[in-house]
Every structure is written in structure tokens, then in C-alpha cells.
Amino acid sequence: MQGLTSRARRVVAGIALAGLAGLGSVLTSLRAVPRAQELPGAGLVASFAAYGLVVWMLVAALGGVVLRGRRRVVAVGVALALAAWHAAWIAPYYRADDRPLTGPRVTILSVNVLGGAADPDALTRAAQDADVVVLLEYDRSTEAALAGRGWAERFPYHVGRVGAWAEGSVIFARRPLRLVRTLPTQFGTYLAVVDPGQASSFGLLAGHPVNPPISRTGWLREARLMTDEAATYAGARLVVIGDLNSTPDHVTIRRMRDEAGLRDAADEAGAGWLRTYPADRAYVPALLGLDQTLLRGEVYAESVETVRVPGSDHLGIRAVLRVG
């Protein structure tokens, strides 16, 4: 602010402080009152709720410089308390559950291939050790590219369909698959059983609901479809995975976890606050955790990590699970 008077600098800093406090209040409110996310535009803003931690830390720092006396003490104290509240929501993701892991190991990879833009060679390498692969936004060009790289032999079982650009989804597996149901979402979402009839079988709900900018009502409706499907699935084990177009803070995911009794695999494995989107910006890191893995029953997370496949606008998710 070179060239401004001392008074002008204080005014500018005060405006910045008020703006940050207002933004922090919105982010905290949307995280604390999830139903408010159903309001127009709120779902998109709530995508950034986790960054309330950063915003309130900036408020504390700027308030300590701009304000004086009792106002400074109160403002900084409140800002730090709210930052701590946000930190408490995120901290469990960095501490693995204390549970001995036994049973067969299953690796599931989920990648949004961006309608054929993902590099098929990198995708094939990423899937090398996977037992099950979920590909979203699966189009004819991706189908042809993977067919030429031996995916039919590598993964002899599959369900799903090719679609135009974002509409297609498919599940590939080394193990037998049985399709249970195709959900009526705009993009492909499927419920299947992996290893049907076996003691190690589990349900797999692989999804790609629409995002809030495409349709607020569609986002809520398709998340409700997935929630109801997960809640009514009668099998002993269930894995929900995909580009869910919601972060862990979103009302859609929180309802799904609560109503269907699902656990967050990244939380369970202590994988940290994973962010997967955007992944195709040269100078912008992934900011939002839209790709997730949720679990129910006797299936537990050993590790969860992101996977970069050049060409995709999402980082993929690789979940190593123990069944049993």
C-alpha cells in the first residue's frame, strides 16, 4: 500500500479484515448448519468450507495488527477459536484408527478420465496392481485406447456403459462382478457385487452424481438416490467410491454417512485431508476433495491415496482395503 497515508492504510486493512471475517462466517455457518447448503449457490461455496481454518487464521493475524485494545483481544480470540473449531473437524483425518487389519487385501482405483482426455498409458500403469477399477466420464476413445492395451485380458469382468463425454461409467475387475442396479443419475452410477457368492464378497456403489453448478436440485436428488441405495443395501459389506462431486463437509456426504452408516476411508486410514480437484492447472494445486471412498461393515481401510493421471482434471483415488 505504498503511497497511501497511514489513515488510508488503516481503512484498507479494516475493509480487508471485515471481508475476511464475513467470508469466514459464511464458511463456518455452512459447515455448522449443513441444511443451509441446500440454498441456491450455497453448495458451491460450501465446497471451500475447510478453508475456513485459513481464513480465520488470517483474520487473527490481521486483527492483531489493525485493531487496538479490547477489540483486538476479543477479535483475535474469537478468530483463533473458530480456526480451532475448523481444525478439530479436519484433525481426525491425520490419525489412523487403532484397529488390527486382517483379511484379504483388495485394491480399488477410481479415476475420472475426463471423456477421453486422460493418458491411457498412465492410466494402465496406475491400474497395474488394482483388483477393481472404476472409470468415470468413460467414452468411446477411452474404450478403444484401453482395449489396445490389454484391459480385457487384465480385467475380464466389467459392468457399466460407454457414454458421450461425461455420461459413461464402467467398473473393471479381476474378480467376478454381478450388476445389481443402475441408478437413474445423469452420469453413470452402478451398484454391483464383487465376488458374488463368496465369503469375501462386497457391494460396490460406484458413482458420479452431478455437481452443484450443473444443477443444485440434481446434485441433491442424485446424492439422495445414492444415499437411499447405500442405506437399503442388505449385504454385509459395502464400498462407495467415485467422483462424488461433494467434499466431506457437504450436506450430501454427511447425510450419506449418517443415514447409510458409512465410514470415511481416508479418515479411517489416517490418509489426511485428500484433495483431488482441480488436477489440470499448471499453477493451482488440487483444492477440493470431490473423489472419495466410504465403507460399511467388515471392510476396512489400510491406506488411501491420490493418483495423478495426466490429462484428467481430477486426481484419482486408490484405496487398499481389508475384507473380513
Q: Is the dihedral of CA 247, 252, 258, 259 positive or negative?
A: negative
> 98-323, which class in CATH?
alpha beta
pLDDT in tens, the chain (324 residues): 555 667 777 788 889 999 999 999 999 999 999 999 999 999 999 999 999 999 999 999 999 988 889 998 999 999 999 999 999 999 999 999 988 888 899 999 999 999 999 999 999 999 999 999 999 999 999 999 999 999 999 999 999 999 888 899 999 999 999 999 999 999 999 999 999 888 889 999 999 999 999 999 999 999 999 999 999 999 899 999 999 999 999 999 999 999 999 999 999 999 999 999 999 998 999 999 999 999 999 999 999 999 999 999 999 999 999 998
Calpha distance 183→162 (Å, rounded): 15
Which residues neighbour 3 within 8 Å (Cβ) at sequence distance 6 or greater? none
What's the chain's Rg over C-alpha atoms? 22
CA 99 to chain centroid, in Å, comes to 24
Residue 115 zone, left/alpha/beta (φ > 0; ψ -120 to 50; rest): left
Calpha distance 285→6 (Å, rounded): 36
Where do the structural domains in the chain lie, given as residue ranges? 6-93, 98-323
Calpha distance 58→190 (Å, rounded): 43
